[in-house]
Structure 1
Amino acid sequence: MKSVAVAVGIALILAIALGVAREKPIGTEELVTVDANDIAALVEANNSFALDLYSLAASRKGNLFFSPYSISSALAMTYAGARGNTAAQMEEVLHFGSAPELVHPAFSQLNAAFNARGKAYRLSVANALWAQNGFEFQRDFLATAKTYYGAGARIVDFAGNTESARLAINKWVEDNTEGKIIDLIAKGVLDPLTRLVLTNAIYFKGRWENEFRPEFTANAPFYLGTAGAVGSTVDVPFMRQVERFRYAHTQNAQVLEMPYAGGDLAMLIVLPDEESSITDVEASVKDGGLEPFIDSLAYRRVDVSIPRFKFVDEMSLKEYLMRLGMVDAFDDKLADFSAMSDRRLYITQVLHKAFVEVNEEGTEAAAATAVVVGVKSAPVDMPVVFTADRPFLFAIRDVATGSILFMGRMADPR
């Protein structure tokens, strides 16, 4: 049985009218240092954006999975080249308003922490900048991308050989997600007017701190809609174990946190009560975030049953970002990326693709806010039963910083 992990890729594509200019040498910036408060502010901003985006994407039917951290990282690189109203809108959508000048060094420190070696799991974050050969970009923008995101400029020829550039970018994404994200950019997305593509890839693979024993896995019904609904079940493999986990029972949901080996990362599962629904949980998350759920957790013996699942999700984020208020960046007349280039640039597309697999050994890749009115009591000596046999919300987070790395909804484990 393979262990589980999360792999995610994202690409931002900016296009301008045809034109060739001088190429300037790329330097680096002097590193700006940040403290724990600055890191905490960025984590809060990223998590707020994650919940905003989830609330919009939740209108989609079926399974949902994305990496808000990957998306924020790629947009932050783009933000480095924005000015005027374009920058102001991006600051608001990404919640960067408190100290925008510290965004890039804070991302740099977070990425360095996530990429650190010697851990019981693998978590890696990679960035790249793909620039049109001969096109002039501002040296400060290129230096910021290189210094804080490790995204040195890779020269390609969108104008003369679009397909070759597309294949090179997709190969980089595939290599940096251990082959889990394939063909992120489809044919026709890039064209000869494309001048810049910014990519971010994030990959996670970790074993559970307490692994499920395969011999205890057995088929059981999963309710595709409301639990108990007639004719809406499928039989799927359920993993089971009884162990001490952080657990809570809120007004309309059970909450379970399952740590990965080493304890740095954990999966949070928010399971609606049988008389409730995933829609109710998502509404709670929209109103209050994940913190009320997390704050209510306490160690209990829990009889856990969750389905094995594996799926790929992809989406275009342009509409969601515009609905959140990032409008000018996509308008060829209003976009102001003058800190990126003297030529007029605008974003044509934002693409995201994510993979998640959860099984007995762990996760390979990748909320709902309800006001917690109290924790329901249960006998101390008997394990509480947590059976995820209906759609639920889940997130993978860095416990130390609180960063939401991945977030999704499991609606159909087939």
Structure 2
Amino acid sequence: MEGLCRANSLFALDLYRALSESNAAGNMFFSPLSISAALSMVYLGARGDTAKEMEKVLSFRSVSDVHSHFERLASTINKPSASYILKLASRLYGEKTFKFLTEYLDSTLKLYHADLQAVDFIGESDKSRQLINKWVEEQTESEKLYEKVFWIKDKIKDLLQFGVINELTRLVLVNAIYFKGTWMYTFEAFNTREMPFKINQNEHRPVQMMYQKEMFPFRDIPEYELQVLELPYKKEELSMLILLPNETQDGSDNLLKLESELTLDKLLDWTKRDKMSMHMDIEVHLPKFKLEVETSLSKKLQEMGMSSVFQDTKSDLTGMSRQSGLFISAVIHKAFIEVNEEGTEAAAATAVMVECDSFVNFQSFTADHPFLFFIRHNPTNSILFLGRFRGPS
């Protein structure tokens, strides 16, 4: 499972860089694990060059038996906890008249706990779209598969917009992830006050800045002009890690510099607990913020090298069905996060549409300028959510 977690993290950083290219100045937030899980179900049915491209982009090349490792990872993540809510769930929606291979459906059910619901994409495509959106909004686990059911509630609404599903749609693969956790040390609301957030050297915007002083895992890395802070949630099985570049005097963008130099090995090294100071009071200023980001990933995934699966004449998804001509028509992702004094609530959903072409004493950590952050599942070292905060919209 360690190999899969590393592969997922490599894909997370690759996708972060790809998305950042077209959005260098804005906020970003997504769940790389949700995207990997949804695409991995497509990869399960991919063959030939299509499979080779997907395993390269998803960094699966060095992972043996990817799908059984995903099953173990999901089981670990879905393990019930009294201190937080964390759930990952998948589901398939297939055109009722289309013949899928029994082996494929059996494997998605066994390895991803994703059962197939037959729908009428041909006759009632928009009704099918609404059905999928309802599943994402409300229930993301089947009572038949798990003892516990959880709800995203209204955090991810209208994942699929009108028109994204049509009479040519044959399969929609959906993954959803939800997290709600309380800080190990909560911020007192009476300490929160308005402060300026430095968008850049010339622009400031007001934010509600939380404050507390506590012994947090902290590391100052002078050679990279970087501070790293870990904010654990209760029981310390999950943490938010914040990478805060030092401010510059010349107006240059240190966050862009950090992103260009960032590798997985550096990220893992910078955030290792045994390299962080554990016994020093840290004065933490962290903005309260809420982000909701919707992203179409089709173009970016093709630019990253996953091209044939989006082309009806080249896609090989014959592991799903003996009928040729299946291809991905769209990959939609939507993610939400709210960070406040109590803790964090985050949710994300990914939908992949498959069509057929034929019918010291203390240290100061003040996050008052752009920073990168991610939420980590500590037992598996998995990046669940990844984002960048450049200030209030």
CA distance in 1, matches of 2:180, 2:264: 31
Given that 1:51 and 1:289 are in contact with CA atoms closer than 8 Å, whether structure 2 keeps it comes out as no
Q: What corresponds to 1:305 in structure 2?
A: 285
Q: For 1:178-220, what per-residue CA distance to the aligned partner results, in whole angstroms no more than 9, with x for missing partners?
A: 2200000000111100000000000000000000000110111
CA distance in 1, matches of 2:189, 2:318: 56
Matched, 1:386 2:384: no
Q: What corresponds to 2:341 in structure 1?
A: 360
Q: What corresponds to 1:198 in structure 2?
A: 173
Q: Which one of the candidate residues 113, 129, 139 is aligned to 1:150?
A: 113
Q: What corresponds to 1:83 in structure 2?
A: 47
Q: What corresponds to 1:254 in structure 2?
A: 227
Shift of 1:234: 1.1
Shift of 1:118: 3.0
Shift of 1:288: 5.0
User: Structure 1: which 5+ runs fail to align?
Assistant: 1-38, 367-378
Given that 1:132 and 1:195 are in contact with CA atoms closer than 8 Å, whether structure 2 keeps it comes out as yes
Q: What corresponds to 1:278 in structure 2?
A: 255
Shift of 1:287: 7.6
Shift of 1:224: 1.1
Q: What corresponds to 1:327 in structure 2?
A: 307
Q: What corresponds to 2:326 in structure 1?
A: 345
Given that 1:321 and 1:327 are in contact with CA atoms closer than 8 Å, whether structure 2 keeps it comes out as yes
Q: What corresponds to 2:155 in structure 1?
A: 180
Q: What corresponds to 2:95 in structure 1?
A: 132
Q: Report the residue type matching 1:341 in the other structure.
A: S
Q: Secondary structure at the match of 1:215?
A: helix
CA distance in 2, matches of 1:332, 1:285: 35
Matched, 1:234 2:210: no
Identical columns (%): 43
Shift of 1:136: 0.2
Residues 286 and 319 of structure 1, relative CA distance in 2, 3 Å threshold: farther
Q: Which moved further from structure 2: 179-188 or 57-66?
A: 57-66
Q: For 1:206-256, what per-residue CA distance to the aligned partner results, in whole angstroms no more than 9, with x for missing partners?
A: 00000000011011100112xxx23x1111110000001111111211110
CA distance in 1, matches of 2:327, 2:263: 30
Q: Which one of the candidate residues 162, 168, 189 is aligned to 2:125?
A: 162
Q: What corresponds to 2:14 in structure 1?
A: 52
Given that 2:13 and 2:264 are in contact with CA atoms closer than 8 Å, whether structure 1 keeps it comes out as no
Q: Report the residue type matching 1:247 in the other structure.
A: F
Q: Report the residue type matching 1:150 in the other structure.
A: H
**Number of aligned residues:** 357
Q: Secondary structure at the match of 1:134?
A: coil
Structure 1 stretches of at least 4 aligned residues deviating more than 4 Å after TM superposition: 286-289
Q: Report the residue type matching 2:199 in the other structure.
A: L
Matched, 1:267 2:267: no
TM-score by length of 2: 0.89
CA distance in 1, matches of 2:6, 2:263: 15
CA distance in 1, matches of 2:194, 2:19: 30
**Higher RCO (CA 8 Å, separation ≥ 6 residues):** 1
Q: Secondary structure at the match of 1:262?
A: helix
Q: What corresponds to 1:41 in structure 2?
A: 3
Q: For 1:78-115, what per-residue CA distance to the aligned partner results, in whole angstroms no more than 9, with x for missing partners?
A: 10100000001111111111244x11111111111111
Matched, 1:397 2:361: no
User: Structure 2: which 5+ runs fail to align?
Assistant: 141-151, 348-359
Q: Secondary structure at the match of 1:314?
A: strand
Q: What corresponds to 2:190 in structure 1?
A: 215
Shift of 1:293: 1.4
Q: Secondary structure at the match of 1:389?
A: coil
Q: Secondary structure at the match of 1:137?
A: coil
Given that 1:246 and 1:257 are in contact with CA atoms closer than 8 Å, whether structure 2 keeps it comes out as yes
Shift of 1:278: 1.2
Q: Report the residue type matching 1:236 in the other structure.
A: V
CA distance in 2, matches of 1:413, 1:262: 30
Given that 2:9 and 2:264 are in contact with CA atoms closer than 8 Å, whether structure 1 keeps it comes out as no
CA distance in 2, matches of 1:124, 1:398: 12
Shift of 1:286: 4.5
Q: Report the residue type matching 2:216 in the other structure.
A: F
Q: What corresponds to 1:32 in structure 2?
A: none
